[in-house]
Amino acid sequence: MVERYLDFLGAERAASAHTLRAYGVDLRDLAAFVAPRDLLAVTVLDLRRWLARRGGAPSSTLRHISGFRTFYRWTLREGLLTESPAERLATPKVPRSLPRVLEVDEASEVVESPSGSEWRKVRNAALLELAYGAGLRVSEVAGLDVADVDLHEGLVRVRAGKGRKDRVVPVGPPAVDATRAWLSERGAAAGPLFTNVRGGRLTVRGIYDVVRGSGANNGLAGVHPHALRHSFATHLLRGGADIRSIQEMLGHASLSTTQRYTHLEIEELQRAWRKAHPHGRDTGGGR
């Protein structure tokens, strides 16, 4: 039954390999926990006990609950159950962590002064310009082929991004120029856009190393590809781009995912107001 469910997630919901693995581990562990009963006999009390045994951060508990709810909704769809035990689980409150956002000058330093030497520096410059200029996920950077970049029009085609949804994102002259320089070094033959020393596709881990190295090269510790993507969205918002356009460029299926950048801006404004406004500080007078 678990295998059937995972096949459904992979085929019809386009779930990632990571999601399939995590959901499969949880369901098989739950099956062992309630044995000799099977998963169709699980009660909400069983789920609560399993979650209590696992413990972990609220974000982990939320992921477990989400996986169980999705599974039991599938059992309802398949006619295996008439009621889901997971719907009665209380959802924990997860503190909303704000992504690290580079200031514009910091992002410029990381992108314009990449680490590496010789051909690697040329490659890294193009990689960083595209990652920041188009707000790409690290997996999307790794998946780019030469044919996905239209240097004449200044466009990047992201194939089968998260949720298996293609999109096209514009990029500016710096990204175009850096990519053109890299293709002159690499050669314009078809295949992966960013390659390693052996000519194979640069891996996600390799891209992390490039971004971290370029951050360190400019005195900025802990810079990662997600920071460039978050900075892309925040800088667009500050520049006046509307939230719907940012949603399209990021490839978010839900507008609520994009709106966290709006919340980020509001919180930054509140901090600035509290720090600078005469009535923004608590004077202890009980007002």
pLDDT exceeds cutoff 70 at 7: yes
The answer to whether residue 53 is catalytic is: no
153 within domain boundaries: yes
The answer to whether residue 152 is catalytic is: no
Active-site residue, selected from the candidate residues 64, 123, 186, 252: 252
The answer to whether residue 186 is catalytic is: no
pLDDT exceeds cutoff 90 at 243: no
Active-site residue, selected from the candidate residues 64, 137, 186, 235: 137
What's the pLDDT score for residue 185? 92
Q: Which residue has the higher pLDDT, 124 or 262?
A: 124
The answer to whether residue 277 is catalytic is: no
Q: 44 and 130: one domain?
A: no
User: What is the spatial distance between Cα 86 and Cα 84, in angstroms, rounded to a whole number?
Assistant: 5
What's the pLDDT score for residue 286? 44
Q: Domain containing 236 — which CATH number?
A: 1.10.443.10
275 within domain boundaries: no
Active-site residue, selected from the candidate residues 5, 23, 132, 261: 261
What's the pLDDT score for residue 167? 85
Q: 66 and 162: one domain?
A: no
183 within domain boundaries: yes
**How many structural domains comprise the chain?**
2
The answer to whether residue 226 is catalytic is: yes
Q: 199 and 251: one domain?
A: yes
Active-site residue, selected from the candidate residues 64, 186, 212, 229: 229
152 within domain boundaries: yes
Active-site residue, selected from the candidate residues 54, 162, 224, 260: 162
95 within domain boundaries: no
- Confidence at 285, pLDDT banded by 50, 70, 90: very low
Q: 71 and 123: one domain?
A: no
| pTM, entire model | 0.60
Q: 23 and 148: one domain?
A: no
pLDDT > 70: percent of the chain: 83
Q: For the residues 83-89, what does the mean pLDDT come to?
A: 91
Q: What is the domain range of residue 50? A: 2-88
Q: 9 and 117: one domain?
A: no
What's the pLDDT score for residue 265? 60
pLDDT for 41-77, tens place per residue?
999 999 999 999 888 888 788 889 999 999 999 999 9
What's the pLDDT score for residue 50? 94
Active-site residue, selected from the candidate residues 63, 120, 157, 226: 226
pLDDT exceeds cutoff 50 at 287: no
pLDDT exceeds cutoff 70 at 10: yes
The answer to whether residue 64 is catalytic is: no
